[in-house]
Amino acid sequence: MPRAQQTTSAKSVQQVPDELPQPNVFSTHSDLYSSQADFLSHDVDEPVGKDVEGKDNPDQPPSDKLPLEARQKGTWWSMAAGVFLANMGVASLTFPYAMASMTWVGGIIAGGIAYFASFYTLYLMLDLHVVGDRRFNRYRELGEFAFGRVGRFLVAVVQYSMAVGINIAYTLLAGQAAKAFYDELCSYGSSCPPYGQSAWITTIGAIVLLLCFMPDMSSLNLTSALGTVTTIGYTAVIVGASIAAGLKQEKATGHHAEWNLDGRSHVAGILGAWAALGTLIYPYGTHIVALEMQAQIPEPSFRPAFVGSALGYGLAGVCLFITGFAGYWAFGADTSQTILFGSTVRTKAAMSGSIPEGALRRHVKKVNAWMRYGCRIGFVVGITIVAISLPFFGDIIALIGALSAVPDAYIVSAGMDLSRVRKPHK
């Protein structure tokens, strides 16, 4: 259901130029312009590029210097895969734990509201990709256009905190998953040297360091496909294992798991409910990368982006909720923070390096490749060190959901839609 401004033809859509190339598809921190005059008078030292009509445009860097917008090979299915993977991963492993603190009624109501409200604000974000004759390919561009300089700062805080938190959480859980898998293989009689969790987290950091140098989303298509298949696969494993364990317990004891909160103090119950709310909200962090994913689709992009987002969101919702319901049904209030270790590193790999890249662009006119690579390496190393120091995965997820996902998924997008960026539609 695209709105009126989506009928703007591709020829009338003006690309917002970048000062420097973006080496990462999810790098969400382009240099912004404080006024229309700055936008029109932007000086580019690179060779002349092409605009959306294929004509020479001195304000547009050449296509090989601007991988995010220039290589528009995205389709609705690539959008669906991106949205699905952005919402899945570590979140599905913590849903049963959240249900244990909220019980059936609270978990279903809170989870349903969080899911549908975040999908609506994602729809608003996709609709604001093109405003009049302006096309906003990055979250911060739209934030400044909607709220001014304050909006640029606000969106930067949301993006940075969300990106750092997700990177830490994915590195931590991926290391735990690798260690659990290694220990499981060694339990079958093989003589294996012991490796601690820190070693596995370091290994995951090294793998992600290689993946984050991919230049654009097209380079991650194979990884996206593998991530989608493996995510659906481990969701099926979690659900199947949970149901089997629940049936086995019911057959052995004659009753199902306890679903009430008996034995918990009032303080523990309240704190657990608040932590569960953060966990239920955490998965919906697609908004900080939605415009970048939509920028890969040629104009008019709203319809394929919306169809792909709806498909990805629907599939993610099914996986999240059936995992939470199955795990809570089987284990009840005794559900651990993660009922099965496993993770996808694709989202983290795509987002790694975006923060130092954006910081450099604010202070360095020309950044050579070695400086960019050095900052990326430093960022991944720093995240890995922090992940080694934080063993409490469930608490990290709840904290990220409370501090980062709430403003990202429920406040900033809605505020942009209400900020009179364009006239409301009846």
Q: What's the mean pLDDT in 178-204? A: 81
pLDDT at 306: 93
pLDDT at 307: 92
Is 424 part of any domain? no
User: With bands split at pLDDT 50, 70 and 90, how would you rate the model's confidence at 7?
Assistant: very low
pLDDT digits (tens, 9 = 90+) for 363-407: 444 556 677 778 778 888 888 888 888 766 556 666 666 677 788
* C-alpha span between 44 and 42 (Å, rounded): 6
| Ranges 33-42, 76-85, 92-101, 410-419: which has the least confidence | 33-42
* C-alpha span between 351 and 331 (Å, rounded): 34
Q: What is the mean pLDDT of the chain?
A: 70
Contact 352, 376 (CB under 8 A): yes
pLDDT at 284: 79
pLDDT at 245: 83
Region class of 189: left (phi > 0), else alpha (psi between -120 and 50), else beta: left
pLDDT for residue 258 is more than 50: yes
For 282-301, where are the alpha helices, taking DSSP H only?
287-294
Longest dimension (CA), the chain: 76
pLDDT for residue 70 is more than 60: no
Q: What's the mean pLDDT in 215-244? A: 73
Q: What's the mean pLDDT in 270-288? A: 77
Is 336 part of any domain? yes
pLDDT at 60: 41
* Percent of the chain's residues with pLDDT above 70: 64
Higher local confidence (pLDDT), 197 or 39: 197
pLDDT for residue 142 is more than 80: yes
Which range of 108-112, 237-241, 245-249, 294-298 scores highest in mean pLDDT? It is: 108-112
pLDDT at 164: 80
Is 87 part of any domain? yes
pLDDT for residue 417 is more than 70: yes
Is 423 part of any domain? no
Is 206 part of any domain? yes
Residue numbers of the domain that contains 241: 4-417
383-412: string of b/e by CB count within 10 Å (b at 16+)? bbebbbeeeebbebbbbbbbebbbbbbbeb
User: With bands split at pLDDT 50, 70 and 90, how would you rate the model's confidence at 120?
Assistant: very high
Higher local confidence (pLDDT), 20 or 263: 263
* C-alpha span between 74 and 71 (Å, rounded): 8
Q: What's the mean pLDDT in 3-25? A: 43
| Ranges 56-70, 101-115, 134-148: which has the least confidence | 56-70
Higher local confidence (pLDDT), 18 or 142: 142
pLDDT digits (tens, 9 = 90+) for 297-314: 888 888 999 999 999 899
User: With bands split at pLDDT 50, 70 and 90, how would you rate the model's confidence at 221?
Assistant: low
Q: Give, for 355, the enclosing helix (H) or strand (E).
A: helix 354-363
Is 425 part of any domain? no
In this structure, what CATH number is given to the domain that contains residue 75? 1.20.1730
Q: Give, for 50, the enclosing helix (H) or strand (E).
A: strand 49-50
Q: Is 235 helix (H, G, I), strand (E, B) or coil?
A: helix
User: With bands split at pLDDT 50, 70 and 90, how would you rate the model's confidence at 423?
Assistant: very low
pLDDT for residue 151 is more than 70: yes
| Ranges 107-121, 233-247, 314-328: which has the least confidence | 233-247
Q: Which residues pair with 57 in a beta bridge?
A: 49
Q: How many domains does the chain have?
A: 1
Q: Which residues pair with 14 in a beta bridge?
A: 134
What sign results for the dihedral spanned by CA atoms 24, 26, 30, 36? positive
pLDDT digits (tens, 9 = 90+) for 341-370: 433 444 444 444 445 544 444 444 455 667
pLDDT at 289: 80
Is 125 part of any domain? yes
Q: What's the mean pLDDT in 137-145? A: 83
pLDDT for residue 156 is more than 70: yes
Phi first, then psi, for residue 44 (nearest 5°) are -115, 125
CA proximity to 107, closest of 261, 239, 240: 261
Is 422 part of any domain? no
